[in-house]
Each structure stands twice: as C-alpha cells, then as structure tokens.
Structure 1
Amino acid sequence: MPFVAELYFDPSTEEHLRGAWHALDEAGISDSMPKGGYRPHISLGICEHLELNAFAKELSTFAASLAPFRLSFPNISIFSTSEGFVYWGATATSQLLNLHAAFHEIFKKYAKEQREYYTVGQWVPHCTLAFGLSEDQITKAVNVCRQMDLPVSTEVKEIGLMEVSPTGCQTLFLFSFKTTDTTELNDELRPEYDETMLKDGVRGKYAKQYAAGTNIVRLEPDVAAAFPSEQAVNEALRFALKVIEGAKNL
C-alpha cells in the first residue's frame, strides 16, 4: 500500500475544493475523492515502502522549519495518462519548488520504490479533483469544474503522511508549519500578481496633480503640538477669521 506525503491548505480553500468534489458527485461523474476519505492536498511524494518512524521524526523537524505561505491555483487541467485525472494546477513558484526539493532530500533516505511522477524534475504540483475517469467523464468533469471561480489563492500550512489502500486512506502523521508573528509585514508579492506590471513605476509621478487638487497644509511641529486634532485647527482658524473681519470693520 503506497505512502503519500501531502501539503494541506487553509479551511476556506478546503471547503471550496470539497464543493467541487460535491458538484462532480451530484453530476454523477465521480465520487472518487470524498468516497476515498481524502483531504484536499498537493502530493509531494509517493512510495511503496517507507521507514515510518525515522521519516516521521525528520518530517516533524522539517515542518517546524517552514512558515505558512501563499499559493495560487490558476487553472483546471488533465494528465495525458490512462489514470483519468482532472486537477487544479498550482503555480510552480520558486518557493514551492524549493520546498519540494528539500522534502525529497529527506524522503529519498527512507522511501523505496518512489513514483517517478513526483520526483524532482518530474513533479507537476496539483490538487486532484477526480481520478479514474473515462474520456467522456473527463470532458464532463472539466465542464463542471470550469464553473468555479479561478484563480484560487490559498495558504499552505500543514504537511502530513497518508497511507492509501483500495478502500480509502488513513492519516499517519500531521505536522503544522511554524507559527509566525502576524504583526510583521509580509512584503512578498503574492503569486496571483504579475511582477512585470510593477517594473515601470515612477516615484512621485502624480504628486503635483494630487497636491493641486487638495487643500492639505503641513503644520510646523510647534503648531501641531498646540492643535492636536483637525477640529482644533478649524476652530482656531475660524476664530482668527472673525478677528480679521472684525478688525476690517473698525
């Protein structure tokens, strides 16, 4: 029975994916994922034999070294193999590929008879929507799944190990990524944004136009200290205007 190492998502993405599984089931196309007891995931590696205890110990340490990260699923696709897979394709960011490569440095020490499709250089990161489909079912499944809003952005936050049998799957280990300080600014560009659109930005390009259309006045520090709020400034200026108008009438 094969062992599968998997990445898991935030709850909202899981719910979204389970909705797709339910739609495929309701359409009479496939119940392969919910029936098998699967959790929405990206498989990192699959093997037939594994030194469980030693691998689990290293996997726990590996998970503790990782921080949750964002990932995007921009498309629905199929594999041109006989297994009949329809899946969400994940954006193969450098962060995801580096994680996969680092994982396999550990996995290869304890795994035997690995599935070639999941090894470094062969891997296509994806989240399965259905498998075991005929050609006709694949067409129908794609049409159903095309109704989903894409791209979908998720947070990857856990890694686990499953054992798969003909009757379903069983979770053997589950490890969360290290927690991060949410008060820190995350200045990484999310994968759904096109970095090339930002390359021609000019600092202060519209500053003059903006200033011309506003009535913002910068107060000197000593004045600002005396008038700590917008209301205080306005009241003081109104009083000054009354004094000036009164002086004109003398």
Structure 2
Amino acid sequence: MGYAVVGYFDKATDEWIRRIWKELMVNDIDDYLYNSENNPHIKFAMYDNLKEIDIINAIEDISQTREQIDIIFKSYSFYPNDQPFFNIDMATSMPLLELQAEIRRTCDRSSTLFPIDFFDAGIWKPDCQLTREVDKKHLSNIAKCLYEKKLPIKGKLESIGLIKFHPAKQIIRFNLS
C-alpha cells in the first residue's frame, strides 16, 4: 500500500478533469481514476509507508498557513513506460514549489519515500494524472481525446490532503487558508 500527499482543485477544474477521466473510461481506455474514491489532484510526494497521524497533523498545520494558489494547466504529457500514463501539466510557480518543498521537509520525517526520484527538488514537476497505466494500443485514441481539450485552463489549488492507493482512497483533506 502506498500513500501520497496531494493537492485538490476548485470545483470547476475538478469537474473539467473528471470529464476527461469519464471520456477515457467510456472509450475503454482507462477507468481506474474515474472509478476511484478520489478527486483529480496534484501529487507533492509519494511514500511507501508513513505514520498517518503525524502526516495528517503536518498537512493540517501546513493548510492553516498557506493560501490557495492560482494554477494554469498548460500542456499534456506522458511517461513512456512499458504501460505509459498521461498527465496534464501545470505551469510551475513559486507558490507551488514552496508548498511542495514544505510538504517534503515536514512529511519526509515521518515517512519512507517511494523508491523514485520524481518528487526531488529540481526534478518534480506539477501535474495531474489523467490515466493510470494504459496499453500502448490506446496512444492514438488518447491523443485524439486530449487534442479536443484546448489549453491553457486556469484554476485554483484549494486544499491539500492524504491518499492511500491502490485502489486510490482519500484519507483526509484540509482547505488552504
């Protein structure tokens, strides 16, 4: 079982991304995210294991000192693994970088990091996952689906929380001040 500290979006942005998840499900490309017990989100860190109460307290403390962040979704991308997954990329901003750095400083103390470096300083990029893992035969269908979804899209990062996965389940969520 893994965990992630995540950020959630405003209602309009959430619904826009959910429509993409639904279209990918209806077209038999990927139904995992649409059927999960979670909302569209940005991952700030992923952990193999953690002390839940410590992380919940840390996230709550951070949420009380951080304001909501304006965000812009600017492009689509994918990780070319054996079973690739697709994302929508967000413009990097100082408030996002500062929030991610604070989450890492605070939450890493009570956790064991996932054995990947995607969340390290200088490597992490803000994005929202659109698929989990898909068969390569769907690449052109995904590209057609995303081509219809014009960018940029402006939104807000309104809250941060903790999820457990697989399957994805939201544990806690706190609004940013």
Q: Structure 1-normalised TM-score?
A: 0.67
Structure 2 residue aligned with 1:70: 70
Number of positions where the alignment pairs a residue of Structure 1 with one of Structure 2: 176
Structure 2 residue aligned with 1:79: 79
**What letter matches 2:132 in structure 1?**
F
Q: Which runs of 4+ in 1 moved over 4 A?
A: none
Pairwise CA distance, 1:83: 4.0
Show the 5 A alignment for 1:220-231: none
**What letter matches 1:29 in structure 2?**
I
C-alpha separation between the residues in 2 aligned to 1:87 and 1:113?
22
Q: Contact 1:71–1:90 at 8 Å: present in 2 too?
A: yes
Residue 157 (structure 2) pairs with residue 156 (structure 1): yes
Structure 2 residue aligned with 1:176: 175
Residue 10 (structure 2) pairs with residue 6 (structure 1): no
C-alpha separation between the residues in 2 aligned to 1:23 and 1:69?
28
C-alpha separation between the residues in 1 aligned to 2:56 and 2:132?
28
Identity of aligned residues (%): 19
Pairwise CA distance, 1:117: 1.3
More strand per residue: 1 or 2?
2
What SS does structure 2 have at the residue aligned with 1:70? strand
Q: Structure 2-normalised TM-score?
A: 0.93
More helix per residue: 1 or 2?
1
Q: Relative CO higher for 1 or 2, CA cutoff 8 Å, sep ≥ 6?
A: 2
- Structure 1: runs of 5 or more not aligned: 179-250
Q: Contact 1:104–1:120 at 8 Å: present in 2 too?
A: no
Pairwise CA distance, 1:93: 1.2
- Structure 2: runs of 5 or more not aligned: none
Q: Contact 1:76–1:146 at 8 Å: present in 2 too?
A: no
Show the 5 A alignment for 1:1-250: 1-114=1-114, 115-165=116-166, 168-178=167-177
Q: Contact 1:76–1:142 at 8 Å: present in 2 too?
A: no
Q: Contact 1:77–1:88 at 8 Å: present in 2 too?
A: yes
> Do the aligned partners of residues 135 and 13 (structure 1) sit closer, same or farther apart at CA in structure 2, a change above 3 Å counting?
same
